[in-house]
Amino acid sequence: MEMPKSPVPGVKYLITVGSGKGGVGKTTVAVNLALALKALGNNVGLLDADVYGPNVPRMMGVNEPPRANGDRIRPIEKNGLKLMSMGFLNPGDKPVIWRGPMLHSVMNQFINNVEWGSLDYLIVDLPPGTGDVALSLAQSTAITGAIVVTTPSEVALEDARKAVMMFRQLHVELLGLVENMSYLIAPQSGERIDVFGEGGGRHTAVQMQIPLLAELPLVPEIRAGGDAGKPVALLGKDSPAAAPFFELAEHVIARTAEAAAHAGPTIAVED
């Protein structure tokens, strides 16, 4: 049967950032992409939909709960972004142990009961894998396009291909693949070191017939910024450490415009 997909009121483009497995830097990419899009003149929101491992609060340096406005939730605002995360509602180390129906309910709340206002982009950081959150979101909400994050290693690429196929089965446009931690430049010699392999992301993008949006280097400033709540994209596009994220943002802007032109109003769901 056909199920209608509802747009988020006030949101022009909704982009999901996913990965086949954890540990590939998906949230780092989502956070810095959102900040780069904002710096390029867009109104941007960031929804941390990784309910089991919400890292956006730490990476954005936020430790306050959101405020209610009647039966609606006001997102936290930091560095020009509107933010929502399960980490704001369930702080500390207490785990979230939920099954599918509860995940569907909280995603509905985050999408429809948060006062996102007028946004050019709502970036949604999905949990790793191909589970309930991505399925629930894709079946109910109009997604402009999806980004899949991987590293060059064969283990990560194997799972990235599964994530690509998941989005295709859900009839979500693939904006492209991001290869994170592609290489390291040795500080003393300037030698390029392919820590996790070489060319895997490019080969997989060709194999899956999707664009390779970026090959992001393994840079200590990126890790340090995320841990300190000061993401590297805040340094601006002239910073060598931040520049790759601004290039990624420019590619995403171009691909989003293409995807929006081809977006359909419904997705097919098996009976």
DSSP secondary structure of 83-122: EEEHHHHS-TTPPP---HHHHHHHHHHHHHSB---SEEEE
Residue 239 has pLDDT above 80, yes or no: yes
Parse the chain into domains and list their residue ranges: 11-262
| Radius of gyration from C-alpha coordinates of the chain | 18
Residue 83 has pLDDT above 90, yes or no: yes
Residue 126 is classified by DSSP as P
pLDDT of residue 162: 93
Mean pLDDT of the chain: 86
Cβ contact 234:225 at 8 Å: yes
Model pTM above 0.85: yes
Look at residues 246, 235, 226 and name the one whose alpha carbon lies nearest to residue 125.
Answer: 226
Residue 125 has pLDDT above 60, yes or no: yes
Query: What's the CA gap between 90 and 12, in Å, rounded?
Result: 29
**48-62, 146-160, 223-237: the lowest-pLDDT one:** 48-62
Neighbours of 95 (CB within 10 A): 9
Look at residues 129, 139, 80 and name the one whose alpha carbon lies nearest to residue 107.
Answer: 139
Torsion sign across C-alpha atoms 123, 41, 248, 258: positive
pLDDT of residue 99: 53
Rounded mean pLDDT, 191-203: 80
Neighbours of 250 (CB within 10 A): 16
pLDDT of residue 271: 34
Q: What is the CATH number of domain 11-262?
A: 3.40.50.300
Residue 265 has pLDDT above 60, yes or no: no
